[in-house]
Amino acid sequence: MLCLLVIGLKSWAQTEPKVSSQVDTTSIKIGEQINFTVTVETDTLAQVIFPDGHTFSPLETVEAFETDTTRKQDRMTLQKIYALTQFDSGNYKLPSQRIEINGKGYFTDSTQISVANVPVDTLAQKMYDIKPLMQVDKSNVDLFKWLLIILIVVAVVAGLVYWFFLRKKPLTEEEKEALLPPYDRALLELKKLENSKYIIQDEYKEYYSELTNIVRSYLEEDVHVTALESTTDELIVKLEMLRDAGELKLDNDTLSQFRRILQTADLVKFAKSKPESSVAENDRKAIEQIVIKTHDALPEPTEEELLEQEEYKEELARKKQKKKLVIAGVSVIAAIFIAAAVAIGYYGFVPVKDTLLGNPTKKLLEGEWVASTYGYPPISLETPEILRRQEAELTPDMKANISDLQIFMYRNAKSLFTVGTSSTVLTQEVEPDFEKSVEMFIKNLEDKGAKNIITKQEEFTTISGVKGIKVYGSGKFAVPESDELVQGKYSVILFGGKGFQQQVILTWRDNDTYAEEIVERILKTLEVKTEV
């Protein structure tokens, strides 16, 4: 039993992780680098999480090198090197770092680092005052990018509308023939009939049907007589009446010949008569002469008639253009509605609406985020906009307990979204009073007009394992420059230790899903230093 116990203890000792650290030097000059090496020996199946590089303050991280891994049987050795520096002289404490192995924290040793000044010969080189901060205009790259995309889309839509609806398309042969005057079109169609294969294929019915349709259509358009719906006798009677009235100067022989051809066509179409091919060809030539004589027999149109015809053509052109514009407009509107329907079906109504109308918190969420460290003791986090330093005046009562207070904040009044940090150094090495800080925060909200404030509290832990207190809830908050109260939410995360306190404040409008995502993302990146 004693042997088994010894073996068991030996086995447990082999599986227990080992964490060690070292620096290549403890004394550097301003701007020089030290290499901080962390070595972990553990099982090959263990999950190891190293510091992310924001936890070395007051030293600054220059580079975190890739982790070097060495395996031997069921054990592995992980080694990670951090290049650190400092640009102010003095003695600094490199804090102990938390290494998480299978969810359990292991800490490295802290080390004192001495940073020496670089001697400067002020006689050989002049000294200049520090230049003031320069105000840099916000980049408009994103705005230009969206404008370019919108212009391209509009140009493409305009090009499609022009190509399919507004441009003057090349006419087909049929359309060119349809635009010819009735007389020219009739002669052209008779010429095509001459070159057809109806007679060769003994298709006399189709031949005479097309022949009579050509002449009847011409008479209806040019002579203005209802020829297509009239029988042979009715059509001849109408032509004779026009001749007797002096409106059509045709002789009796031409009308008699026309009657004979129409009667022959009736026999072919209805009595299945089959004339000689020479007769059919002569009838086509005769019809061509009848068309020519009829055209020559028509009186010349008066100036008023020509003007009426011109106005009629212009009116037709205007109606055609108007029709094209209506079709183009309807097409564009339909395309917009279809695109909106597809977008709503895929993304949902609210995201599409917020994208088109420009929801402020949606722009913050989808914009370029900034990762930075604020104040001392430092607070590191990612935010959609940079936090700006706020002037903080300490009252005489506050100065008795606070030696330094640094506040950074971003506020979007339009969306009622606020994110701020405060780092407080106390005059005495005592633990901070979190309850008093929360009371002061609630009182500040009430002084600004907030009502019905609900408060909850829970523990908060950063990714690196630093524990703090999260106070959160909801209430009705005042809208800037208005008496209106809107439902909103807030979160206050507090950290601290002997002689200092750190605080992160977030407020946003209730039911704002984009703000909820922003808050969640900020809290996931939140890191603090718990040593001054």
Q: What is the pLDDT of residue 3?
A: 45
- 3-class secondary-structure state, position 473: strand
Same domain? For 246 and 382 the reply is no
Pair of tokens at residue 364? 């913050």
Evaluate the CA torsion angle 55, 61, 65, 68 in order and state its sign: negative
Same domain? For 384 and 464 the reply is yes
Pair of tokens at residue 153? 């889309």
* Residue 206 burial (CB count, 10 A): 13
Q: What is the pLDDT of residue 357?
A: 61
Is the pLDDT at 457 greater than 70? The verdict is yes
For the segment 489-494, the average pLDDT, to the nearest whole number, is 90
Q: What is the pLDDT of residue 11?
A: 42
For the segment 344-369, the average pLDDT, to the nearest whole number, is 70
Domain assignment present for residue 59? The answer is: yes
- Contact of 295 with 183, CB cutoff 8 Å: yes
Same domain? For 388 and 505 the reply is yes
Sheet of strand 417-426, all strands in order from the earlier edge strand to the far edge: 388-390, 402-412, 417-426, 500-509, 485-497, 467-478, 451-461
Q: What is the pLDDT of residue 4?
A: 37
Structure confidence by residue, pLDDT tens digits, 31-40: 899 999 999 9
Same domain? For 511 and 379 the reply is yes
What secondary structure does DSSP assign to 356-369, as a single string? Answer: HHT-HHHHHHHS--
β-partners of residue 211 are: none
The predicted model scores a pTM of: 0.42
Provide the domain count of the chain. 3
State the pLDDT confidence band at 142, using cuts at 50, 70 and 90: low
Domain assignment present for residue 510? The answer is: yes
H/E stretch holding 291 reads: helix 277-297
How many residues can be counted in the chain? 532
d(CA 349, CA 126): 64
Is the pLDDT at 1 greater than 50? The verdict is no
Same domain? For 393 and 524 the reply is yes
User: Which residue shows structure tokens 């082999």?
Assistant: 14
Structure confidence by residue, pLDDT tens digits, 393-419: 777 777 778 888 888 999 887 778 899
For the segment 138-156, the average pLDDT, to the nearest whole number, is 69
Q: What is the pLDDT of residue 199?
A: 86
Q: What is the pLDDT of residue 45?
A: 87
Q: Are strands 27-29 and 111-116 parallel, antiparallel or unpaired?
A: parallel
CA distances from 35 to 49, 180, 528 (A): 19, 92, 22
Same domain? For 280 and 375 the reply is no
Which of 81, 116, 151 corresponds to the end of one domain? 116
Same domain? For 375 and 519 the reply is yes
Domain assignment present for residue 471? The answer is: yes
Domain that holds residue 227: 173-297
The 3-state DSSP composition of the chain as helix, strand, coil percent (nearest 5) reads 40, 25, 30
Which of 244, 274, 297 corresponds to the end of one domain? 297
Same domain? For 505 and 396 the reply is yes
Same domain? For 386 and 507 the reply is yes
Same domain? For 379 and 524 the reply is yes
Residue 470's CATH number:
3.40.1000.10
Residue 41's CATH number:
2.60.40.10
d(CA 478, CA 445): 9
d(CA 344, CA 133): 46
Pair of tokens at residue 379? 């607070």
For the segment 267-295, the average pLDDT, to the nearest whole number, is 89
Q: Note if the bond before 301 is cis, omega within 30 degrees.
A: no
Residue 261's CATH number:
1.20.120
- Contact of 488 with 508, CB cutoff 8 Å: yes
What secondary structure does DSSP assign to 142-190, as a single string? Answer: HHHHHHHHHHHHHHHHHHHHIIIIIS-PPPPHHHHHHHS-HHHHHHHHH
Domain assignment present for residue 340? The answer is: no
State the pLDDT confidence band at 78, using cuts at 50, 70 and 90: very high
Domain assignment present for residue 148? The answer is: no
Same domain? For 87 and 191 the reply is no
Domain assignment present for residue 252? The answer is: yes
d(CA 517, CA 382): 13
Q: What is the pLDDT of residue 5?
A: 38
For the segment 415-444, the average pLDDT, to the nearest whole number, is 84
Which of 77, 100, 116 corresponds to the end of one domain? 116
Domain assignment present for residue 355? The answer is: no
Domain assignment present for residue 190? The answer is: yes
For the packed helices 277-297 and 182-194, what is the interaxial angle rounded to 10 degrees?
170
Same domain? For 386 and 511 the reply is yes
